[in-house]
Structure 1
């Protein structure tokens, strides 16, 4: 339930504050793709950092999250910002 609430909140906050757009239903249903990308990139980065590069298991999740942020931003922008 918390995951769904955070996704809905993120959608509206990104729509109104980050991109200053009026959200649509189509965008609402596409927005979960940003979470799929985030989870995929951060999990892959975590695997590379810990298992292949033998980095510290405490620091690696933070670095993996930082790596995933640009990917998530690009996908959310493609979904939420309509081309004229």
Structure 2
């Protein structure tokens, strides 16, 4: 992975930490008035939306799209499945501690989750300037 990819992975991981706090804040607040599973679902949905926006703007420095938003939850599914498989193997096959294994599995699954998130957000976007040689100005330059 090149320097840009490593920067993006570090940003993705940092946003994941922030996002955990967002989830928990929403969960605790909503749980004051609703059952805990409903609070969990609302906190998760809100945190996933915040994560998508932060990763679009900060990690990948791109404008979010509805198509990317629809694909973005796949990164969470990949993380859940891969970390779950790693957790199971660590505990059942390697006889590792369940709590440490959960942390290790989550950390080890993060790079794959990042790759899926990056694909979800950026798939279908042009990676090179238009073929006719014109260079499109950045959004903030067009608004002047």
Tell me which interval the TM-score lies in, with the shorter structure as reference length. over 0.9
Gap runs ≥5 in structure 1: none
Structure having the higher Rg: 2
How many residues get paired?
A: 84
Cα distance, 1:58 vs. partner? 2.0
CA distance in 2: counterparts of 1:26 and 1:78, whole angstroms: 11
Gap runs ≥5 in structure 2: 1-41, 128-144
Larger RCO (CA within 8 A; separation ≥ 6): 1
Corresponding residue number in structure 1 for 2:72: 31
Corresponding residue number in structure 2 for 1:65: 106
1:45-79 Cα offsets, whole Å, 9 max, x none, are 10010011100112111100011100111111111
Q: Do structure 1's residue 12 and structure 2's residue 53 form an aligned pair?
A: yes
1:26-63 Cα offsets, whole Å, 9 max, x none, are 10001010111010011001001001110011211110
RMSD: 0.9
Q: TM-score, normalised by structure 1?
A: 0.94
> Moved runs in structure 1, 4+ residues, more than 3 A?
none
1:1-29 Cα offsets, whole Å, 9 max, x none, are 11101100100000000001000001000
